[in-house]
Structure 1
């Protein structure tokens, strides 16, 4: 047994054999588990990605609060630009999530290998991910809360790479149906470079608006291959986030006014005035570049 393969206990191995799943090599190692490449002989699925979470290694808060939300999100989120879930199995203190295998890693890895992404390709992938987020916001009333380059996978379809949103561990329904209003989030989750000013300031925040802010960071990173704001000092981060002249200085070249306008609208400090995901998809830069 090598460190790239998985050692299953007899009970789990029997369950996997009955289901037709076979583990191959390990693809990645994360904070809460590993992701393996595998197959399913009974369904005819040639390749699957298998996320293995050791429930004994995670905290009670994660098991009681975040894991049930992730399972709900995985079951509910079904969009062409989200990673499809085939099966979820809980066995011997571990969670096995069987999902669509994406052939080409993630956008963070793509940037590392290829540098900044051309505007047309950035627009295609950004639009695809934004459509997935819009579907979550409008159909499920659910915010993702951890949109980042690492959570945008790339897979080949008809000879072209398409973007798919993944990792719904922090996803949460943020709409109060009885009161017909957004429920503000008090959990400051996600990843620091993508934080909105409200999260940086540790204030209650609209998670839908925070998703839009993070999408603006994703787009900037794709086009410039660097983060727009420094994030090791919260006061500095907030100051930069609210300084348009600083934002202008961060672009690696003189992009068009409509592209910069989209960034400004994503990065509107007052989240009540920030562009919604629905209006983002109608923005002139999206419409023009998407033709």
Structure 2
């Protein structure tokens, strides 16, 4: 995960003025990306010459994060060109599970895993980013569950949709399953132009695997995309899965 620094209350130029120096230290460059709540800029540390990414939040308090600059861009950019080879998809999925396991072991739950939030460094390694919707164990309610409705529609777990509380560990695993399907198929397992129709497919777990999926992969996806979170595959089970462990 990329390290981040937070500075609240600093005077930050508006988007049209985001050029020149920030805090007299960072030379601001081009926009790398933007979302609903923030914009990310490429910047350079004037003292060290190091490239960084600066995330500017759309808040009155002018909060921003200085983060590691990951040169390879988003995993989404690779998937947008078409499905990946199985060995490449497996490598990326292995790294994703490793990162998610690391977070969960420390009481951090992402809740918005998707290819747009997975970055590629210059060595081809994956880095999970954008923890804007993440939660920590201290946020769990007395019933042991989270109740905030969040996530990206195509990747959201069915138990989130019913709004009765959910285990964020199991929600992240569902999203990992959707990501794996997308890497291997090049399209979503649950898709419809109508959002409500798509949610119904997610709730029912209705998806079809393409002909090139192996039986081992289908079995893993079936466990990951089990609509019953209580019997959804666990991280240790994923790590010991035959398809997951397969070497080229």
The TM tier, using the shorter chain, reads 0.7 to 0.9
Cα distance in structure 2, aligned partners of 1:4 and 1:28: 15
Q: 1:156 aligns to what SS in structure 2? A: coil
Tell me how far apart the structure 2 counterparts of residues 227 and 236 of structure 1 sit (CA, whole Å): 10
Select 1:107's aligned residue among 71, 75, 78: 75
Does residue 1 of structure 2 align to residue 39 of structure 1? Answer: no
Deviations 1:224-248 (A, max 9, x none): 11110125344653445535xx52x
Tell me how many residue pairs correspond in the alignment: 233
- Whole-Å separation in 2 of the counterparts to 1:273 and 1:230: 24
Among 93, 96, 99, which residue is 1:126 paired with?
93
**Structure 1, unaligned runs of 5 or more:** 57-92
Displacement of 1:202 in angstroms is 2.1
Greater per-residue helix proportion: 1
Question: Shift of the alpha carbon at 1:259?
Answer: 0.8
| Structure 2 Cα separation of the partners of residues 176 and 240 of structure 1 | 26
Is 2:214 the partner of 1:256?
A: yes
**What is the CA distance between 1:220 and its match in structure 2?**
0.4
RMSD between superposed Cα atoms in Å: 2.5
Question: Closer, same or farther in 2 for the Cα pair 1:145/1:236, shift >3 Å?
Answer: closer
Q: Deviations over 1:33-73 (max 9, x none)?
A: 2111111133x2521111111312xxxxxxxxxxxxxxxxx
Distance 1:261 1:102 in 2: 33
Distance 2:166 2:197 in 1: 18
Aligned pair partner of 1:183 in 144, 156, 160: 144
The verdict on how the C-alpha distance between 1:266 and 1:276 changes in structure 2, with shifts beyond 3 A counting, is: same
Distance 1:5 1:36 in 2: 12
Distance (whole Å) between structure 2 residues aligned to residue 238 and residue 196 of structure 1: 11
2:127 equivalent among 154, 158, 164: 164
Alpha-carbon contact 1:174-1:207 (below 8 Å) kept = no
In structure 2, the residue matched to 1:288 is: 246
Query: Is 1:268 matched up with 2:226?
Result: yes
- Cα distance change on mapping 1:236 and 1:109 into 2, 3 Å: closer
Name the structure 2 match of 1:214. 175
In 2, Cα distance between equivalents of 1:233 and 1:32: 22
Query: What SS does the aligned partner of 1:199 have?
Result: helix
Match of 2:56 among 38, 52, 55: 52
CA distance in 2, matches of 1:107, 1:202: 30
Does the 8 Å contact 1:102/1:155 carry over to 2?
Answer: yes
Match of 1:6 in 2: 18
**Which residue number in structure 1 is paired with residue 62 of structure 2?**
94
Q: Please say if residues 194 and 214 of structure 1, whose CA atoms lie closer than 8 Å, have aligned partners that are also in contact.
A: yes
CA distance in 2, matches of 1:286, 1:116: 18
